[in-house]
Amino acid sequence: MLAGVRGFVFDLDGCVWNGPVLSPGARETLAGLDRAGRALAFLTNNSRATGEDIRGRLHALGVTAARHCLTPLEIIGEMISRRWGPSRVLVIGAAELAGAVARAGHEIVDVRDYRRASVVAVGNDFELTYERLTAASRAAAAGAPLVTPNVDARLPLEDGEFVPGCGALVEAVAVAAGVRPVVVGKPEAPLFRMALERMGLEPAAAAMVGDSVPSDIRGARAVGMRTVLYAPAGGAPGEADVVVRSFAELATLAGLA
């Protein structure tokens, strides 16, 4: 069923790569799809990187076919503007997240001035402190909408290791504040639709390849794409149209071998 697919959208963490290492066969399969004229796009829920950052990392790993690379940072500032207008945003996360919000015309609020915040944005924060967690929780409890790039609980690394993901942090804030977050990235539709637009394809002509059922498979199905679950340990199709255990298997199903 993948031989007629005209474009593939790939998840990154846990699929194309794990930490700094490409998954076995990924480079070769992606190059083969590109040579066969298949459109390619790459989506990640990374809250610390722009699309340009991701493109550079893929190119450094030899994935030279990477052109369309999207992260929630591409749209989070615009989404805040559309829903709440110019805002005073308390950002708990990386400098890249704060920069993306500021470039959209919003004011960045210091942690000590959390009472001024009209929106709270929480991303992965490798310098998280109890003060920052408290400020975000209090601002959200006081009525500032809570926004996050994603609710992924873990960020996969090589050798099966992980670090707590954005979802773990935002859940702590949400529980303390008694609110639920507005999610910008997968499984919500905007990034999927943007990828399809960049490839120039309708949803039915494209397939999403990813390792997460809640994020990749359900999100892609909701916009009408075909779905491929990347599961090296194996498993039944379930909600995905196809399950593959390797990139070599994906290449075969896509008609490359």
State the pLDDT at residue 237.
Answer: 72
| Residue 53 shares a structural domain with residue 146 | no
| Residue 62 shares a structural domain with residue 83 | no
Mean pLDDT, to the nearest integer, of 122-133?
A: 94
Q: How would you classify the pairing of strands 7-11 and 39-43?
A: parallel
* pLDDT, tens digit (0-9, with 9 covering 90-100), for 212-251: 999 999 999 999 999 999 999 887 778 999 999 999 999 9
Final residue before a domain boundary, out of 140, 162, 183: 183
In a domain, 104, yes or no: yes
State the pLDDT at residue 7.
Answer: 97
State the pLDDT at residue 245.
Answer: 96
| Residue 64 shares a structural domain with residue 191 | yes
How would DSSP label each residue in 107-156?
Answer: EEEPGGGGGG-SEEEE---TT--HHHHHHHHHHHHTTPPEEES---SEEE
Residue 235 CA: distances (Å) to CA of 28, 230, 247: 24, 10, 15
Mean pLDDT, to the nearest integer, of 181-191?
A: 92
Residues above pLDDT 70, as percent of the chain:
100
Final residue before a domain boundary, out of 134, 156, 183: 183
In a domain, 95, yes or no: yes
State the pLDDT at residue 234.
Answer: 82
| Residue 166 shares a structural domain with residue 245 | no
CATH number at residue 35: 3.40.50.1000
Phi, psi (deg, nearest 5) at residue 96: -65, -40
Mean pLDDT, to the nearest integer, of 89-118?
A: 96
In a domain, 2, yes or no: no
| Predicted confidence (pLDDT) at residue 152 exceeds the cutoff of 90 | no
Domain range for residue 42? Answer: 7-71+186-253
State the pLDDT at residue 48.
Answer: 86
| Predicted confidence (pLDDT) at residue 1 exceeds the cutoff of 80 | no
Q: Can you tell me the distance from the alpha carbon of 203 to that of 220, in angstroms, rounded to the nearest whole number?
A: 9
Mean pLDDT over all residues of the chain?
Answer: 94
pTM over 0.85: no
| Residue 190 shares a structural domain with residue 210 | yes
Q: How many domains does the chain have?
A: 2
| Residue 177 shares a structural domain with residue 121 | yes
| Residue 243 shares a structural domain with residue 153 | no
